[in-house]
Chain A
């Protein structure tokens, strides 16, 4: 049974109807990132405090004197969402222990873009995860610094054209492979690590719920399509996310206490990377040979994950 195909039928029963990120925010039309944040909030529910990094999601949601947030929310700076979340967690824990606030469990969540997670925010995140705070951190990865105008990050994929790694007469855009952030979190022995994409809403929601139920740190890397920065149609966010997953460019998997599991959404046979590249202006300049190099890398990276599933299971 394919739940996603019958989404309209199942969604009302499976998804929290309450909107905790309200309408009227200033995200671009068709933004995949804000859709992901909205779904995350639904999965988290009301007993949540969010610490957000500077970036698109902060700017579009909190224009003073308005706010889109129906959950307690704090923004401090760009590189420190994980440290702020850690402080919130410690503060709530201290107050609760002493009976200074009511005795209810509150999930603390840090969130940032790929820049706020993988580049400037990596140290704070590493520290928070290593210290074992009871918090979830979600990276909303739209593969560039979108808020400041589509500059490259370490999450920008090879070959993508951005404003600081543009395609030009002697350049094919990004010259480096995307940093494997989920693996860095796995290396921290975080009990729950997952990759997700709002194009698969039920899978994403289930993963957030799992992270919420995890005592201690957890991490979700959420692939978030940005039509503005990727130069694709604003009606294509869901389709692009699907293609990224179906081509293996962004595989969906979970790592629970070191055990890898590929999500059921992953196809048996991957679609060609070129199908995914086709609709996006940021890859338009790539030639056949360049796409082949990327195709090869995508396949070998995906194989690594499949191998981890297999061989780690063999150690049970």
Chain B
């Protein structure tokens, strides 16, 4: 049994990546990702990781370099936040289009403007359609576990897609938590060396990133879509294997007191634990409330969401990003379209919360649930609300 240590989560993520026999990493510093970058450098400098560590001149080059290195068959890692992720944006669909396994940690942070260094999900949401597998973690332990699993998912022969692990900036990355590192020998067993599909090597010359016009482009997009959809099965299998080996189980959607709840709330990322406390308080008051926590953002777990929401009368979706001028937050849109064809579906309400690092407390979550209690579930409310905003 591995022993528990107290460690900052960003540092722990770097340690976990260090357990994965990476061959190359390229990073560019940005708050709040920088502790991951710095600790990775320490590990390389101390010879604890045998990898090429490239301190690129921008995030655009970080992503470009890991794409190039992944093309050689190397196991690669990068990490970023906010503006850095926005700068990489151009390359994200190229990485997935080339079917290159890459693992990226994202210390989620609000995007400018105005400049803000604190946490929300406005950096990852514009990357939604880039063809990456996108996972959200709730606490430090999940950050460790999913960072390791991400390599196995990305490199799986039926997947071959880049994976990003979303870790709420500051609220998670800078917390010191009691953490358990998996035993190295078990990690080696769980994560054998990468077996690449094709590599940039003169022993067998290949062309990567060819030019495709209308005669092939649609087929390529369909193939990418299918690869992403099919990855869900692999992800679930890998989570089952992890549970067997390390005793911690993961699912695309987690629920908390949700089975019999009339009012459900949905969160993504680190706010799940705060929301759980709110659910307990509401239950103590006799309110039939429960929680859905979305771990797998892409591929989107439609079946699991439908199953989790099937008995509820009302569903509150929280979003930590805005789709300006759109139908509500991006998570809200997804949930709505997942439930549209259901014969019995809950009324859905959307609250935009925690933008730019604004605290969301237990009281806030209780307030959201209490606000929808008097609403008539038969009457659709087609608006979203910025929770707690000063007008």
Q: Which residues of chain A have a CB within 8 Å of any CB of chain B?
A: 46-49, 51, 58-59, 62-65, 67, 69-77, 79-80, 82-95, 97-98, 100-102, 104, 106, 123-124, 126-128, 130-131
Name the residue on A nearest B60 (C-beta): A80
Please name all residues of chain B whose beta carbon is closer than 8 Å to the beta carbon of A51 when the two chains form the complex: 68
Minimum distance in angstroms from A56 CB to a CB of chain B: 11
Tell me, in angstroms, the Cα distance from A124 to B76 when the chains sit together: 19
Please name all residues of chain A whose beta carbon is closer than 8 Å to the beta carbon of B24 when the two chains form the complex: 87, 90-91, 94
Interface residues of B in 222-261 (CB under 8 A from A): none
**Can you list 9 A-B contacts (CB < 8 A)?**
A49-B72, A72-B206, A77-B90, A77-B94, A91-B24, A91-B71, A100-B23, A100-B193, A124-B58
8 Å CB contact of B70 from A65, A75, A91, A102:
A91
- Pairwise interchain contact A87-B26, C-beta atoms closer than 8 A: yes
8 Å CB contact of B67 from A49, A76, A98:
A76
**Residue from A48, A76, A98 with most neighbouring chain B CB atoms (10 Å):** A76
- Pairwise interchain contact B55-A94, C-beta atoms closer than 8 A: no
- CB within 8 Å for A77 and B91 given contacts A83-B65, A87-B68: yes
Total CB contacts across the A-B interface at under 8 A? 175
8 Å CB contact of A126 from B52, B57, B201, B208:
B57
Tell me, in angstroms, the Cα distance from A49 to B198 when the chains sit together: 14
Interface residues of B in 70-89 (CB under 8 A from A): 70-74, 76
Please name all residues of chain A whose beta carbon is closer than 8 Å to the beta carbon of B55 when the two chains form the complex: 131
- CB within 8 Å for A127 and B58 given contacts A69-B205, A90-B24, A91-B72: yes
Tell me, in angstroms, the Cα distance from A88 to B61 when the chains sit together: 12
8 Å CB contact of A131 from B54, B69, B71, B200:
B54
- Pairwise interchain contact B61-A74, C-beta atoms closer than 8 A: no
- Pairwise interchain contact A73-B205, C-beta atoms closer than 8 A: yes
Please name all residues of chain A whose beta carbon is closer than 8 Å to the beta carbon of B216 when the two chains form the complex: 64-65
Minimum distance in angstroms from A113 CB to a CB of chain B: 15
8 Å CB contact of A84 from B58, B65, B207, B211:
B65
- Pairwise interchain contact A91-B68, C-beta atoms closer than 8 A: yes
8 Å CB contact of A92 from B60, B72, B211:
B72
**Residue from A62, A91, A104, A123 with most neighbouring chain B CB atoms (10 Å):** A91
Task: Say whether B51 faces chain A, with CB atoms less than 8 Å apart.
Answer: yes
Minimum distance in angstroms from B27 CB to a CB of chain A: 12
Name the residue on B nearest A65 (C-beta): B216
- Pairwise interchain contact B208-A75, C-beta atoms closer than 8 A: yes
8 Å CB contact of A67 from B60, B201, B210:
B210
Task: Say whether B213 faces chain A, with CB atoms less than 8 Å apart.
Answer: yes
Tell me, in angstroms, the Cα distance from A75 to B57 when the chains sit together: 20
- Pairwise interchain contact B74-A83, C-beta atoms closer than 8 A: no
- CB within 8 Å for A73 and B207 given contacts A91-B74, A123-B57, A124-B57: yes
**Residue from B26, B209, B213 with most neighbouring chain A CB atoms (10 Å):** B209
- Pairwise interchain contact B54-A85, C-beta atoms closer than 8 A: no
